[in-house]
Amino acid sequence: MDTKPILVVDDEKNIRLTMSQSLEALGIPVQTAVNGEEALQKLRQEPFGLIFLDLKMPGLDGIEVLRRIKEQWPQIRVVIITAHGTVATAVEAMKLGAVDFVQKPFSPGEIRELAGRVLQREQLNEENAVDYPSLVELAKRHISDRSFAVARETARRAIAVDPAQPAAYNLLGALLEINDERLEALKFYRAALDIDPTFKPAAANLERATSWEKLGRIDLGPAHRDDATAGAGGNGENDET
**Domain range summary for the chain, segments of one domain joined by +:** 6-122, 126-210
pLDDT digits (tens, 9 = 90+) for 132-143: 999 999 999 999
3-state secondary structure 186-237: HHHHHHHHHHCCCCHHHHHHHHHHHCCCCECCCCCCCCCCCCCCCCCCCCCC
In the chain, count H helices and then E strands.
10, 5
pLDDT digits (tens, 9 = 90+) for 145-190: 999 999 999 999 999 999 999 999 999 999 998 888 999 999 999 9
- pLDDT tens track of the chain, all 241 residues? 567 999 999 999 999 999 999 999 999 999 999 999 999 999 999 999 999 999 888 899 899 999 999 999 999 999 999 875 555 577 788 889 988 888 888 999 999 999 999 999 999 999 999 999 999 999 999 999 999 999 999 999 999 999 999 999 999 999 998 888 999 999 999 999 999 999 988 898 888 788 744 445 566 666 655 443 333 333 444 444 3
Residues with Cβ within 8 Å of 122's Cβ and at least 6 positions away in sequence, in order, are 1, 2, 77, 141
For 104, the 3-state DSSP assignment is coil
Residue 17, Cβ neighbours under 10 Å: how many? 13
Specify the CATH architecture of the domain 6-122: 3-Layer(aba) Sandwich (3.40)
| Residues paired with 79 in a beta bridge | 52, 100
Q: What is the pTM of this model?
A: 0.80
Q: Is residue 191 a contact partner of residue 169, using CB atoms and an 8 Å limit?
A: yes
The CATH number of 126-210 is 1.25.40.10
> What's 179's DSSP letter?
T
